[in-house]
């Protein structure tokens, strides 16, 4: 497969040619923000929403990217055109927008750093096992690492300092599962890279934004639920509520909705995927133009 092109600080190049200084604050301190927009079969999905959140995060951490939001969008669309014939028309790509505070200064003070480092890239993901994932679901385990509270760092900002979530991922790896993080009060928060939902008595429940990243796919799930007349609520809940739930699923940009077959010893009452989960999976397929429930043979 032909190597993909990236855009680094306004220059387009093959990804193997990209060079960033070891003194970039993104490398030294994890000082930056990022977004990952899905590209389904060469079509960007919800790019505007992702860039809006990118610029909200930039404002929160006080990084000036050196380009307006509309210029970032144009640069992304231009890069898509350049990569178009290099992308698999039936594949899925992660489209990354990484912005760091830039080169560290001798003072090592954040206010003296810059200009910002801006990188846009396309990165294909494996899709061969997705059909099985949607049919059988994933297993989650509640990990000892708690989600950072917004009193320490705002959970709504998509920052590159991911050690909190990485430790949760490593916790879950010990049991060959994916993570489910709680907040510091014992309420359910989220997976290390995805939002978490349950279905109970026909109602979708998910933790409020104060405890979790406000996922773009989470937002779309609300939109689709409203369209399908599925009631939904944002509120705190605990493992007790999980024990009573009919369905569980996680949402993330690249895979939209994935059923959860178990949270430790708790299993959903419904089949997998449950009826509401399946309706939402099918609605996402219609929304994105990408089918998520392929036959086993494919």
- Which part of the chain has CATH 3.20.10.10? 131-288
Residue 252 β-bridge partners:
256
pLDDT greater than 90 at residue 132? no
Residue 234 β-bridge partners:
206
pLDDT of 202: 95
Q: Which two tokens stand for residue 20?
A: 């960033």
Percent of the chain with pLDDT over 70: 98
Confidence category of residue 211, pLDDT binned at 50, 70, 90: confident
Mean pLDDT of the 192-207 span: 97
Annotation: CATH topology of 131-288: D-amino Acid Aminotransferase; Chain A, domain 2 (3.20.10)
196 vs 129, which has greater pLDDT?
196
Sign of CA dihedral 94, 27, 196, 211: negative
pLDDT digits (tens, 9 = 90+) for 62-78: 999 999 999 999 999 99
What's the mean pLDDT when you consider all of the chain?
Answer: 95
Confidence category of residue 295, pLDDT binned at 50, 70, 90: very low
CATH number of 5-127: 3.30.470.10
pLDDT of 210: 84
- Which part of the chain has CATH 3.30.470.10? 5-127
Cβ–Cβ < 8 Å for 53, 216 = yes
CA 51 centroid distance within chain: 13
pLDDT digits (tens, 9 = 90+) for 271-280: 999 999 999 9
pTM of the predicted model as reported, rounded to 2 decimal places = 0.94
Confidence category of residue 130, pLDDT binned at 50, 70, 90: confident
pLDDT of 294: 61
Contact residues for 68 (Cβ-Cβ < 8 A; gap 6+): none
* Residue 228 three-state SS: coil
Q: Which two tokens stand for residue 105?
A: 């200064």
Mean pLDDT of the 251-259 span: 95
Nearest to 42 by CA among 81, 15, 4, 8: 81
d(CA 20, CA 65): 16
205 vs 126, which has greater pLDDT?
205
pLDDT greater than 50 at residue 296? no
Confidence category of residue 297, pLDDT binned at 50, 70, 90: very low
pLDDT greater than 90 at residue 6? yes
Mean pLDDT of the 133-162 span: 94
pLDDT of 1: 66
């Amino acid at each position: 497969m032909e190597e993909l092109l990236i855009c680094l600080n306004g220059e387009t190049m093959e990804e193997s040619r990209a060079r960033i200084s070891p003194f970039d604050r993104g490398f030294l301190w994890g000082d930056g923000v990022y977004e990952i927009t899905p590209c389904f079969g060469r079509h960007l999905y919800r790019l505007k929403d992702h860039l809006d959140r990118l610029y909200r995060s930039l404002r929160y951490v006080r990084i000036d990217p050196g380009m307006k939001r509309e210029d970032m969008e144009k640069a992304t669309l231009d890069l898509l055109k350049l990569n178009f014939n290099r992308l698999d028309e039936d594949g899925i790509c992660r489209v990354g927008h990484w912005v760091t505070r830039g080169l560290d200064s001798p003072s090592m003070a954040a206010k003296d750093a810059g200009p910002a480092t801006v990188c846009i890239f396309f990165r294909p993901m494996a899709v061969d096992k997705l059909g099985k994932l949607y049919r059988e679901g994933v297993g989650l385990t509640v990990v000892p690492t708690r989600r950072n509270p917004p009193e320490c760092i705002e959970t709504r900002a998509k920052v590159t300092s991911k050690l909190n979530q990485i430790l949760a991922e490593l916790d879950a790896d010990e049991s060959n599962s994916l993570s489910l993080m709680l907040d510091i009060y014992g309420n359910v928060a989220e997976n290390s890279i995805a939002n978490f939902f349950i279905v109970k008595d026909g109602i979708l429940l998910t933790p409020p934004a104060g405890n979790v990243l406000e996922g773009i796919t989470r937002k779309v799930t609300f939109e689709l639920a409203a369209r399908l007349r599925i009631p939904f609520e944002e509120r705190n809940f605990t493992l007790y509520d999980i024990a009573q739930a009919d369905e569980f699923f996680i949402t993330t940009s690249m895979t939209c909705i994935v059923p959860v077959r178990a949270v430790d010893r708790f299993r959903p009452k419904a089949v997998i995927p449950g009826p509401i989960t399946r309706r939402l999976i099918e609605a996402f397929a219609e929304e994105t133009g990408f089918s998520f429930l392929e036959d086993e043979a494919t």
